[in-house]
Structure 1
Amino acid sequence: MTILDSSELLAQLPSELHADITHMVSELPDLFDQRRLAEMDAHLAGRVLASSSFIQRQAVRFPEISEKLLQGVDPINWCVDSLFEELTGRVDGVTDEATMMRLLRQFRNQYMLQIAWLDLAGAEVDSILQYLSALADALIRCAVEWAYSMACARSGIPRDEQGKEQQLIVIGMGKLGAKELNFSSDIDLIFCYPSRGETDGTRSTSNEEFFTKMCRMVIRLLDKVTVDGFVFRVDTRLRPFGESGALVLNHDAMEIYYQSHAREWERYAMVKARLITGSKEGKAELTTMIKAFVFRRYLDYGVFDSIRVMKRQIEAQLQKKGVEHNVKLGPGGIREIEFIGQAFQLIRGGRDKALQARGILKVLGLLADRNQISPLAAQELSEDYRYLRRLENHIQEIDDRQTHDLPTDTKNQLRLVLSMGFSSWLELLEKTQQTMKRVHQYFDRLVDFDEPTEQTDNTDWLDLTEEGLDSFLAAKGGSVSEETRKGIIHFCHSYPVRQLQEKGRQYIVRLLPMLLERLLIVEPEEKTVLIFLAMLEKICNRVAYLVLLVESPSVFNQLTRLAILSPWIVTQVTRSPILLDELIDPHSLYQVPSKDELQADLDNALLSIDSDDIEAQMEALRLFKQTSVLHVAASDLTGTLPVMVVSDKLTEIAEVIVEKVVTLSWKSICAQYGTPANASAQSVSGFAVIGFGKMGGIELGFGSDLDVVFLHKEAQIDEMTVGDRAISLGEFYMRLGRKIITYMVTRTFSGLLYEMDLRLRPNGNSGLLVSSESSFEQYQRKNAWAWEHQALVRARFVAGCSDVAERFNKIRSEVLGLRRDITTLRNEVVEMREKMRSTLLTKKQGFFDLKHGVGGIVDIEFIVQFGVLANANEHDSLLTYTDNIRLLHELNKIGFLSTLQQQNLDGAYKAYREASHHASLAEQPTMVPVDVVEEQVRQVALVWDEIMINN
């Protein structure tokens, strides 16, 4: 065999690196010969070999691997399970620790050789990070499995108090947890086991002692330096209580620590936590606990304080000498990119579960998608991250050392220039400096959570006196009434405020002057101040919301603006403070979703809730309604939605909720009692919800209840469901109706969904909860009063089975289309109107009752209903719509109303509806000063007299 003249490998390499290549060729004469050289890219091989002393050493130790690499063969299946399977095959039968250590280290070095070669040969950095993380997982799992078997052989299997086997859970932190491990990284681990108990061996020991000894063995297997080196340096200082804490804890102890003792920076550390070993059940339970600790359900602006502290610590470290060329810790280094992503994750990850992703590149993309950072920022930071991570790996691959500093010696600088593809050290240095400068600019700009300017006034807000308040107001040029003054003093001395912990006290002291200046000086609204303080008194124990109002000027400004316009909004926030989150993005706040978007949002809200967790479903439904209605209210108050669209949107929200409640109730009842024959538990069959009143007329307001009737298909009296607990279909549909009502009217922490009114069903409150199609038809044809046919004008199918909907529509059309004696009908309608007015009209000097006053909403509705019932037998077009505005147009088309009458009624109805909406949002009765609607009242009363009295 002719030994290669190394000139081919040395070509285009700096002369300073020739000696290493020549030495390696002499060490591997069988590998470097003319024949093999012809099969490979000599220049690529020369560059890779010259760039890394580590590769040179390992190539000599493992020539068979080097040969495959030189031939361009990637021999690795980078699946963790495959690596683990190969490794466990190698250590099978090993019983002594020294042999186990040797095999683990050999495996590690062989695969690190291949990873370093692939990296230096130009593989994508994302793949290299994944390969390193997969290798670490396999090695950790193997070490844990072996240590467990040895410990069990000595002490028996650890079990909980119920006798269930316990397994060690290893939590990978940092870059290991995110599967972004760098080449010579140490690994941050936390150890945990599920439950207290003891082993079942003859030498029984507590689970705590068992797993403590086992963890020490795992650390030795990985961390101890032998003649073969080490596997990974193991750092366990991130565990509860740090170095002074127990090496391993059970689930309960972990939960107590993270609920009661953990510091804010530990939430940051846990963002990337990933469970590597353990049983499926044990890992699921621990994952739930960790996520609850890290990611708050609300948008967590309380994390600003800890972010500020950590940012200041980073900036302090940047002042130290020697970090300017540290690609991880220097200004604009890898840590700052990670910090940007994790800051947003901590703030928003509780509400937006996608942001709970561990990888920084994915997080940056998600932040751009959600308009938290610009697409350009995400693109540039991703490019910079990949560059810096590749550079970091190449630095560490020079000699397998955990360093992040650019080399200072000429030889290693040449190696780095060669591996990174630059023409000179100056060019590499300039590129690196430009990259880090850009990152640092983003770091300063995107994590711009500077401490707000401290208040300069000396007011002692928590011991506020009337003199102190007057002094504050005088300095600002304002004054208040005695009632408002007493309200402010009362708030400051109230029990909820007095019992606040230090952080809450700090924020309430900062919030109060902001609030008073805004609502007493800038835009004097004394009534709003008192309403706002009442809200704060109820929610101040949830300090996160005080933090949100102080830390986010946009939220504070939005809420005070809307509070001035609508006390109703403040009431809703008081009931569900999580609604404050909706105020963060003004653009989003005034975007009212379409019905399809509402359905998708509700599906997502329920996606992670167990099917049998009805309480959680109820809470999710209520929060969905409150959030959705808030968007409509904000848009209504600011004039971005026309009045009719407001009602449309409120009705769509109700429809989406009813549809979902019917589906959830159907699945629940089917799970208990089986399904009707030929029906599926996944699809509602033979049942329908019919909307009446404002629901049926697509005219819901902010405080409307739902008038509904439940119908079911015809069934034989003895027909039963198909299931283990079969019941009659009549009973089945009755239970379904009750379940729907339970979902809707049960008062949870967030209140109820909607009040339900079922009095329009056949025979009213004395009738069956769910009516069959035939009984409903028979009642409408033979027993219903004229006012019940009036109600049928506004009735429509809302949710459930399309077959029942079709049957209902047929019944409705036929009943409304019956020929009636017009005089009798007119008398009955007028009589019912007078009865309603006599019992429901609200009288107040100088004010008009929008609903029941003469010339009000009900007069318009009764005119429409009379017109439909009097003419539907000859005009099918009157059977198409259920809302008053379109019916007014149809009545005009058939000549029942003149154009002037239709226009006057149309204009008055819209004006009344808008006034009603705003009265609800102002939490006022539906009364307005007479002079505001005087002209509309006159016009409606005139049409009433023309149609109903004088005709």
Structure 2
Amino acid sequence: MTTVPGRRSSTFTRLLRHGFTDPSAAERLLDLPELSSVRADPVLFDALGATADPDLALHGLVRLVEAEEPDERQILLDTLVTAKPLRDRLLGALGASEALGDHLARHPRDWQVLVTYEATDLHPGVREFEQMLCDVVDPDSLRVAYRRSLLSIAARDVCGTTDVAEVAAELADLATATLRAALAIARADAPSDAAQCRIAVIAMGKCGGHELNYVSDVDVIFVGEPVDGAEESGALQAATRLVAHMMRICSDTTVEGTIWPVDANLRPEGRNGPLVRTVSSHLAYYQRWAKTWEFQALLKARPVAGDPELGAQYLEAVSPLVWQAADRENFVGDVQKMRRRVVDNIPVDRVDRELKLGPGGLRDVEFAVQLLQLVHGRGDSTLRVGSTLEALGALADGGYVGRADAAQLDEAYRFLRAMEHRIQLYRLRRTHMVPEDEADLRRLGRSLGLRTDPVAELNRAWRRHASVVRRLHEKLFYRPLLDAVAQLAPGERRLSAKAAGVRLEALGYADPAAALRHLEALSSGVSRKAAIQRTLLPVLLGWFADSADPDAGLLGFRQVSDALGKTPWYLRLLRDEGAAAENLARVLSAGRLAPDLLMRAPEAVAILGDPEGLKPRSRDHLEQEVLAAVGRAPGAEAAVAVARGVRRRELFRTTAADIIGSYGTEDNPAETDPGALVDRVGSAVTDLNAATLSGALRAAVRERWGSTLPTRFAVIGMGRFGGHELSYGSDADVLFVHQPREGVGEEEASRAANAVVSEMRRLLELPTADPPLLIDADLRPEGKTGPLARTLKSYGAYYRRWSLVWESQALLRAEPMAGDKELGRAFVELVDPLRYPVEGPGDEAVREIRRLKARMESERMPRGADPTLHTKLGRGGLSDVEWTVQLMQMRHGWAEPGLRTTRTREALAAACAADLIPAEEAQMLDEAWVLASRVRNAVMLVRGRPGDTFPSNPRELTAVGRYLGYEEGHVGDMLDDYRRITRRARAVVEERFYGASG
């Protein structure tokens, strides 16, 4: 074939179009006389262009044709052109595997194994492969027959006749047939040894799991027993000689190559142990010495050759041990450490190309699946399968893995295994490294069906699947619930009525019969929901039991599950998302408030599965959400209902964070700084109430005046509200201030402002099951008899003329919370001179403050209350600390900027920094204030209603103790500690507030 210099022939162009990378060399090959009858046939060009590497396929075809006798050569070429199945199979194999091209060049007649295309030929099993190997008489003929069989598997693989799982299973079946043939050769070579012993070959690893690679060590364990009348030691020696010969037959390298190495290092004691053991010897080793990884390896054990009865006997003996392995101490942690060690041992320059062992590789899928099998397979026999993909499907069917997660893992695993297969098929070498050479990557991509830009498409697909595997591996392999399930005792895994009743009583459930009814309702049936809950409940029961009220926790879980059980994400969240299940257990069993909030908004349980979900949201964020929701609502009452919904959800977020921070979970240890917990709750509830008031204000204004009120309006927080120190049950102390807009008379403005206040209060006081938000405006000028809202000018006039010392003290905590921000700042500027008077309050004012405090102590303490345990008015309680700090603020705030804050702890720290109080005394006051605040929060969490003293109910008192960090049975210590801490604080108050040092 000649061409004009400088011009390309039509054949050259055609070759380029069909994917040849070296069309000049291909032209020369097509010009060979041996291909004269087919060189111009378009069918051949199309078939070559469809292969992974057209250049390689053509080169292999030429070598095959050249190796054939002339008569046979023409038969091959004629069949190649007329029979599409053969053409696709043969050229597909030649274009994907240089090694199979070498085999056909040595054994050209073997192409005929690809001719048949019957349905029975599509998925051969062990019997068909044994027939293909039936004529072997020595190791070399076995190697040739093995490669011939491998050719048939590879051809169907590259043509898409079989999928990756079927290919892996066929390779395992071919390995089985090969082991049987090799053992038969070894027996024939040593009949006297064969007469002394029974041998069983147990496949392990990928061969045992029916998921073998093209080139892989075949892991095995050998079992031997003497035949009747034979002496055991002699029989085992004979068996050892036989299996060693069998291993050499498979492993030795000759001109025909190697079949594959047979690896017996998974046997007891590894390479240091005897090659063959009896069943009893294996059993003794596994019962006494085996490590965790050895039971994981036995998960895929399968008898494949030798004496089938002996193989079955071995499997029957060791299988129960496999499904008891997860009972071992630190089982889950051991498996996780083993996986990490594998990754750590990969050389740094190879880790990014390691398809099997690297992060996001095949082993990540396999380890995650095997760990889940071993943990959950103890009680679920459907999980006791060897294949990774079959096991993954069973885990999804049983609810142990989400269907979406399982589908993504299945897809990723198939893709990565297909990559591994095609990489190994090229030269039939054992490798798991993704090549770096462009030509290799191109061939690999094309072999997987990527044709537009094979290299780029391959890299994108590989990275995408590896990322999915890594993410889901981390999610499944390291999820806390898995370790908790693994730690359950055998009797805890099944919820049989009798055993469960005894167990529930031992765990501390006060009403085991009711608990059993809940368990039955939650776990009975064959639904996916019931299956998942059967997995969750044994663990949850233990977490509920680690609380003051296990019964309430279980009841709450049933109520939440009844409400959300048909919601697909709910149980998936508890099973898969970090510490969500443990968080829910802690929240449901900590008292009434959080579960009550959750029952009215069950979808808020999603907060518990989000790592960021327990963080409080900022006031700006909350206000934006509330105002947007109010703006969409059809009327004022609907608007406030929506605002209440936001408040309900955010209160749940705050209570859940508080409970989990106090109790701690495996993923989130308990907060070690009680002050941080108190500050977080106080700030979160304050911001939430401020946002809710903003929503109520917007709703009240919009209902009557549209977008603009005739007067500018602001809500000023007072008391604990202004101090960002609200507890869950606190009222919102407020003042209302307004300023007439330009052109609006003062009387009209006042009517509008007072009407808005009345409407806000009405809307917020509408009947609801949510925790109330009560507005208390009694700190306003003239108290209950004064107008609800005043102008800024009116406040100024009143404070200049009539203000009492207690009003100056109350204004220490005044801070704008809602409404017109500029007006709020103007109010603060107005009252600053009053609350921080230059040179401080006079002696008479100080005496008046002390008289008011003493009067409050004597008159407001509830009758019968223990003054040593009352958190607000009692000895060393909130009032004592706050009045002491406020007196220092009034005296020194004009000179010390740090004291000009509405927050008690912040002001106390500033006073200490300014040397106004010794650090030791400041610490005593702070500790007492934090403890009293925590007790108030605990009472509300436990009882669902506010209280200023410890509960009298023993179970509630225990729950308060658990919140404060006291174990059950130590409530006496809690009360003693409270009295001690507040007694010390009271001593400081006596000195600093009432005494000369004050």
TM-score by length of 1: 0.47
TM-score by length of 2: 0.45
